[in-house]
Amino acid sequence: MFADLFAYFYQFADVFAFLVLSAAGLAVIFGMMGIINMAHGEFIMCGAYATTFAYHAGLPLPLAQACGVVAAGLIGIVLEATLIRPLYSRPLDSLLVTWGLGLIATQGTLIVLGSSMAGIGTPGGGFRLGGYGFSIYRMILFAAALCVLAFIYLLFKRTRFGIYARATMQNANMAQALGVRRNRIYALTFGIGAALAGLCGALYAPTMTLIPTMGATFIVEAFVTVVVGGANVLLGTAPAAVALAVTRTTLNGLYGQVFGQIGLLLAVVLIIRVLPEGFSGWLAKRAS
Amino acid sequence: MASETILKVAGLHASYDATPILRGINLEVGGGEIVAIIGRNGVGKTTMMRCMIGLLPAASGTIRYAGREITSLPADRRARLGIGYIPQGRDVFPRMTVEENLQVGELIGQSRRPPATDLVYEYFPILKERRDQLAGTMSGGQQQQLAIGRALIGSPDLLLLDEPSEGVQPSIVQMICRVLRSIRDRHGTTIVLVEQNLDTILALAERCLVMEKGQIIAEISAGLVTQDSVRRHLLI
Ligand SMILES: Nc1ncnc2c1ncn2[C@@H]1O[C@H](COP(=O)(O)OP(=O)(O)OP(=O)(O)O)[C@@H](O)[C@H]1O
Ligand SMILES: [Mg+2]
């Protein structure tokens, strides 16, 4: 009985972590800047590749993963300042530019590094409980997802940077007229979003095959979680991930993976039908 | 009251797209003065304020503040030089608490003075009472107090106020006038306000500049700001 419950929780935690880690970077950039980053998957890929490089160069895995996060974050900051900043008042153009960047990144990686790359074995081993096998690394991913949610919350609610970023999001002109350096806020926010995407890649790098198109693996879950969560990352992402993870885990257990995936997408259609502004829009309305 | 000049605008032109709005503004404000810009709707008062804080670029002309030319500085630099801006319509950050709104204003006087939080709470006790409330859920008068407090917390040397009385009940307007006077008397803060409300003008302004079609066309000098003189110009 306990083993069954734990097995369910473990499956849930696995899906939940995947949703949260996939979506975090996309959600921050969309929620704080209103930009739909179509290169999100490529930032994830970048994190995974940088991690793998650093690992093969001899760094211990956690340090290599930190390299993946930093690499994606720095690239994000540079791209924001050069290509994305001029397009703030043109959301469709920024969508197109990030999409193009994603294509360039994928094809560039393919040309330079080939169609696949030697991976990293999943660390951490496993344990058995009542006939089920569990991976310790999957539990670490769950903990990491919780940490990411806490990090985003604390960053935007409890730090100066977070207050300036939210002020800029709500009224960029007014924030600037009070002394907020708007460009710096945008560059850092985009950089943090890119770094979070990099973290996703860094954390999943040891669990999957490294191919240039690997970012696509995360894209559906990332977008689905952001859409269901709504515009406010601080309010929406966690409940969205919980709701979707419960749906998928339950259907996976009852009818298998395929129905889990179908059920997830149906749940999304249903939720945005009932809550057009996602969980955060609904929660914000209830609060006021 | 006027000592040396703190703000000097010369030949300022600005336009929205191709429509010229400001057509050569000239004005000078002394340190510690309270000057009202008056004029009918749509003559360009708000446009001038936005130009002075830097939210709208000047097409030509110069703006000098505290002895330095700020015409091409971005708004955030101007704010950090000590200019506090309170826009028409207040523009509080609606989904942030009162306290968080105030924290953004601390940037104005950053690195020069510690935030004047106690002072703001002393002048506007309602802000202290409501400090955890979301700004968007407050009444117009409360939001106006917050917008003023948000500028004052950074101890600005120059306050730019755009129609502080608009949409605010008279008792609160009187209270705001008292606060602004006291701020000037205690700290020597220069105040430039746009205003159309006769009572507010009489209660605050030491001097009035009359605006018409994007220019300053007349002045009511210190000592001559009376009900008759102001009314005459408001009704042109
Ligand atoms: N964002 C804008 N884009 C284009 N034109 C504008 C814009 N804002 C104002 N205008 C025009 O510029 C002119 C001056 O407007 P402004 O807001 O400066 O006037 P005002 O003197 O502040 O008026 P009020 O007393 O109504 O506040 C008006 O004709 C207005 O229609
Ligand atoms: Mg106006």
Assess contact for A82 and A20: CB atoms under 8 A: no
Distance CA B158, CA A177 (A): 13
Closest by Cβ to A179, choosing from B96, B108, B134 = B108
Q: Per-residue pLDDT for B1 more than 60? A: no
Mutation to test the B interface, candidates A174, A185, A280, A283, most B Cβ within 10 Å: A174
Pairing assessment for the beta strands B5-16 and B60-65 based on DSSP bridges = antiparallel
Name the pLDDT band for B111 (thresholds 50, 70, 90): low
Query: Is B222 touching A (CB cutoff 8 A)?
Result: no
Name the pLDDT band for A168 (thresholds 50, 70, 90): very high
pTM for this structure? 0.91
Domain A2-122+131-281 has CATH 2.40.50: no
What local confidence, expressed as pLDDT, does residue B3 receive? Answer: 67
Average pLDDT (B45-59) is 96
Show residues of chain A in contact with B76, CB under 8 Å.
176-182
Query: Is A286 touching B (CB cutoff 8 A)?
Result: no
Query: Which residues does ligand 1 sit against, CB inside 6 Å?
Result: B 16, 21, 41-47, 88
Which A residues 265-284 touch B at CB under 8 Å? 284
**pLDDT by residue (tens digit) across A202-255?**
999 999 999 999 999 999 999 999 999 988 888 889 999 999 999 999 998 889
Tell if the CB–CB gap between B76 and A180 is shorter than 8 Å: yes
Share of chain A above pLDDT 70, in %: 100
Average pLDDT (A27-53) is 95
Residue ranges of domains in chain A: 2-122+131-281
Based on the number of CB atoms within 10 Å of its own CB, is B13 exposed (0-12), middle (13-18) or buried (19 or more)? Answer: middle
**pLDDT by residue (tens digit) across B76-101?**
999 999 999 999 999 999 999 999 99
What local confidence, expressed as pLDDT, does residue B2 receive? Answer: 47
Name the pLDDT band for B18 (thresholds 50, 70, 90): confident
What local confidence, expressed as pLDDT, does residue A203 receive? Answer: 97
Lowest average pLDDT, out of A103-117, B104-118, B194-208, goes to B104-118
Assess contact for B37 and B211: CB atoms under 8 A: yes
What local confidence, expressed as pLDDT, does residue B128 receive? Answer: 97
Distance CA B69, CA B7 (A): 10
Share of chain A above pLDDT 90, in %: 74
Average pLDDT (B197-210) is 94
In this structure, which residues have their CB less than 5 angstroms from ion ligand 2?
B 45-46, 88
Residue ranges of domains in chain B: 5-234
Average pLDDT (B42-46) is 95
Pick the CATH number of B5-234 from 3.40.50.800, 3.40.50.300, 2.50.20.10, 3.40.640.10: 3.40.50.300
Tell if the CB–CB gap between A170 and B74 is shorter than 8 Å: no
Assess contact for B120 and B139: CB atoms under 8 A: no
Average pLDDT (B170-198) is 95
Distance from CA of B109 to the nearest CA of A (A): 9
Calculate the alpha carbon distances from B35 to A70, A215, A260 in Å: 52, 60, 68
**pLDDT by residue (tens digit) across A9-22?**
999 999 999 999 99
Distance from CA of B91 to the nearest CA of A (A): 7
Query: Is B231 touching A (CB cutoff 8 A)?
Result: no
| Residue A183: count of CB within 10 angstroms of its CB | 14
What local confidence, expressed as pLDDT, does residue B192 receive? Answer: 97
Show residues of chain A in contact with B54, CB under 8 Å.
177
Distance CA A131, CA A149 (A): 32
Distance CA B15, CA A277 (A): 37
Residue A109 CB-half CA count within 13 A: 23
